[in-house]
Amino acid sequence: MQYLFSVIDDGAGLATPTEEADIDAFNDRLRAEGHWVFAAGLGSPDSATVIDNRRGEAVVTDGPFVESKEYLAGFWIIEAADLDQALKLAAEGSKACNRKVEVRPFL
């Protein structure tokens, strides 16, 4: 069972060196214990572009699809037996990156 951990930033910006080190340590643990699938940080919402090609003509819009104070700063995809295990890992991930983490299951 895979879960997406979304890292929610509310304006703190890039991770500090301490946060980076803690995230690396957490990632090492995920790998060592077999939970690791993939993880990445994302460019800021300023760097986003939205494309809408539902009507046959691609409309390009500058900026994120929704403007909000909180935004997706990065994510983990992890493997866990169930939600309890995922929530435990997310709690550690949140501590490591010093941000809120949303947990959602893959279908």
Mark 83-102 with x for binding to another protein (rule: CB under 8 A) and - for no binding: xx--x---------------
User: For another protein, which is the closer residue by CB, 62 or 84?
Assistant: 84
The mark string for 46-85 relative to another protein (x by CB under 8 A, - otherwise) is -----------------------------------xxxx-
Establish if 103 lies at the interface with another protein (CB under 8 A): yes
The SS3 assignment for 36 reads strand
* Whole-number Å distance between alpha carbons of 31 and 5: 15
In the complex with another protein, the residue whose CB is nearer, 1 or 12, is 1
Q: Does 21 bind another protein (CB under 8 A)?
A: no
Amino acid identity for residue 65 in this structure = F
Q: Is 1 among the residues that bind another protein (CB under 8 A)?
A: yes
Strand boundaries in the chain, DSSP class E? 2-9, 36-41, 49-52, 59-62, 71-79, 100-105
Residue with smaller CB distance to another protein, 59 or 87: 87
Check: CB of residue 75 under 8 Å from CB of residue 9.
no
Residues 6 or more apart in contact with residue 92 via CB below 8 angstroms: 26, 29
